[in-house]
Amino acid sequence: MTTEQTILFTLFGLVFAMLLWGKFRYDLVAFSALLIGLILGVVPEDQAFSGFGHPATVIVALVLVVSRGLTNSGAVDLIARRVVDTGRSIGAHISVMSGIGAILSAFMNNVAALALLMPVELQASRRASRSPGITLMPLAFATILGGLVTLIGTPPNIIIAQIRADALGEAYSMFDFAPVGLAWQRAMQERPDLDLYSPNRVRSSIHGTYLA
């Protein structure tokens, strides 16, 4: 192993340790690591800040801007609150909220979609006098799976599309990821061993147990 490789692996180890510690903001840790790598000479000077102008970075930033706009407008919250009905069964409620979360996360950042729906879910749980832990995990999984359906649903899809464009001259289109993403969603609904929010699991959670 060369000296540069040793320095890089050591730097990566320190970054992971700082991220796990959680005392400092993640962006400050990452940017500080970049500066240290630049000072130590393991990061080329002409490429040190090229990532900030990369198309994938710009697209992710734009998706976050759209997510913030939807949040500030109150459009998503209005739709969600109209759909939520405390009179539904627990299974029906989970299906409706998971469907909303999956659709939203397909066209906006999945973390932002979850953040938008969490207050709605917590309020619905209070009205129904049930533990929010029963329904929050299915909602989290639904937003993750929804992000797999479209190009902009999750940052890794955007990055992979750009790498493909650089290598082959053509990026993935908006719905090229849909067959895989939709297949995973269908598997979660139909396979008992994969369905983390099936009625049996929900009933077990209500009675204080969880089927692993």
Task: State pLDDT tens for residues 12-66.
Answer: 999 999 999 988 998 899 999 999 999 998 988 888 888 888 776 777 777 778 7
Please state the pTM of the whole predicted model: 0.61
Alpha-carbon distance of 177 to 18, in angstroms, equals 33
Could you read off the pLDDT of 67-108 as tens digits, one per residue?
A: 677 667 877 667 666 767 767 788 888 888 888 888 888 888
Alpha-carbon distance of 126 to 9, in angstroms, equals 48
DSSP 8-state class, residue 138: H
Which residue type occupies 160? I
Distance of CA 101 to the CA centre of its chain: 11
Other beta carbons within 10 angstroms of residue 171's beta carbon come to: 17
The answer to whether the beta carbons of residues 101 and 117 sit under 8 Å apart is: yes
